[in-house]
Amino acid sequence: SQTIHQWPATLVQPVGSPLSLECTVEGTSNPNLYWYRQAAGRGLQLLFYSVGIGQISSEVPQNLSASRPQDRQFILSSKKLLLSDSGFYLCAWNDRGESAFGSGTRLTVV
Amino acid sequence: AQKVTQAQTEISVVEKEDVTLDCVYETRDTTYYLFWYKQPPSGELVFLIRRNSFDEQNEISGRYSWNFQKSTSSFNFTITASQVVDSAVYFCALTTNNAGNMLTFGGGTRLMVKP
């Protein structure tokens, strides 16, 4: 079965610092991978998705970027964090009705 | 484009009451999948159910039941005899077989079950 590993679980970063959140998936090849963000008390917003190595689609223009250096690895980054980047970030896998989520990263920008 | 609407942002019930969470979806695809997820305060998403567009049979799992009606594009979720542990945010989601296979989420419904 598919498993998604996401780390770290929590992160407190100062404004202007860089960010790197990593997600890896096991149990499948060539997965479609997604990054979602959930602001406090809000719904899930799709940030990026990737259908393959080096292929990234951005849904919302913002201060973040994503990369897919390997088939089962999906990275969310920022060069300089803003206060508004605070939130709960979830990595996800989906394929023809099957889906799985990482355990999430709670990011607080101070 | 696809869309999921959960009109109820917050529901409060007393323990043992039944409660129904509404979900209405929009898609042009004939093949699609609908999901319900539970998000407890810890934040992780807990998978509850997946239903494909060709299977309109309603499903019951313990105190949970789901009513899928293509005629009204709805996939409602009912909790019978609610318990305090049911308190969480519940998300309805939709995906299709198109490129990207992205999951589109509704805005979520926060359910509070009071003792």
pLDDT (average), residues B39-64 = 89
Q: Cβ of A43 and B107 within 8 Å?
A: yes
Q: Cβ of A92 and B103 within 8 Å?
A: yes
Neighboring chain A residues of B49 at a CB cutoff of 8 Å: none
Give which of A43, A108, A105, A42 is closest to A75, Cα–Cα: A105
| Tens digit of each residue's pLDDT (9 = 90 or more) over A21-77 | 999 998 888 888 999 999 887 889 899 999 899 999 888 767 899 999 999 999 999
Q: What is the pLDDT of residue A29?
A: 80
Q: Quote the minimal CA–CA distance from A94 to chain B in Å.
A: 7
Question: Is residue B41 pLDDT above 60, yes or no?
Answer: yes
N-term to C-term CA, chain B: 41
pLDDT (average), residues A81-97 = 89
Percent of chain B at pLDDT > 90 equals 73
pLDDT (average), residues B23-32 = 93
Question: Is residue A1 pLDDT above 80, yes or no?
Answer: no
Q: Quote the minimal CA–CA distance from A73 to chain B in Å.
A: 16
* Rounded-to-integer distance, Cα A50 and Cα A102, Å: 16
Q: Quote the minimal CA–CA distance from A35 to chain B in Å.
A: 10
* Rounded-to-integer distance, Cα A95 and Cα B103, Å: 10
Q: Quote the minimal CA–CA distance from B63 to chain A in Å.
A: 23
Neighbours of A16 (CB within 10 A): 11
Residue by residue, DSSP assigns A11-76 as: EEE-TT--EEEEEEEES-SS-EEEEEEE-TT--EEEEEEEEETTEEEESS-SS-EEEEEETTEEEE
Q: What is the pLDDT of residue A105?
A: 95
Q: What is the pLDDT of residue B43?
A: 86
Q: Cβ of A96 and B101 within 8 Å?
A: yes
Question: Is residue A107 pLDDT above 60, yes or no?
Answer: yes
Percent of chain B at pLDDT > 70 equals 98
| Tens digit of each residue's pLDDT (9 = 90 or more) over B71-109 | 999 999 999 999 999 999 999 999 987 756 788 899 999
Cβ A79 vs Cβ A28: under 8 Å: no
Q: Which of B45, B50, B52 sits opposite A101 (nearest CB)?
A: B45
Chain B residue whose CA is closest to A56: B100
* Rounded-to-integer distance, Cα A41 and Cα B89, Å: 9
Amino acid at A14: P
Confidence of residue B59 (pLDDT cuts 50, 70, 90): confident
Residue from B3, B9, B45 to probe the interface with A (highest A Cβ count within 10 Å): B45
Q: What is the pLDDT of residue A60?
A: 78
| Burial of residue A65 (number of CB atoms within 10 Å: 0-12, 13-18, 19+) | middle
Cβ B111 vs Cβ B9: under 8 Å: no
Q: What is the pLDDT of residue B68?
A: 95
Q: What is the pLDDT of residue B100?
A: 65
Chain A residue whose CA is closest to B5: A43
* Rounded-to-integer distance, Cα B24 and Cα A90, Å: 24
pLDDT (average), residues B13-39 = 95
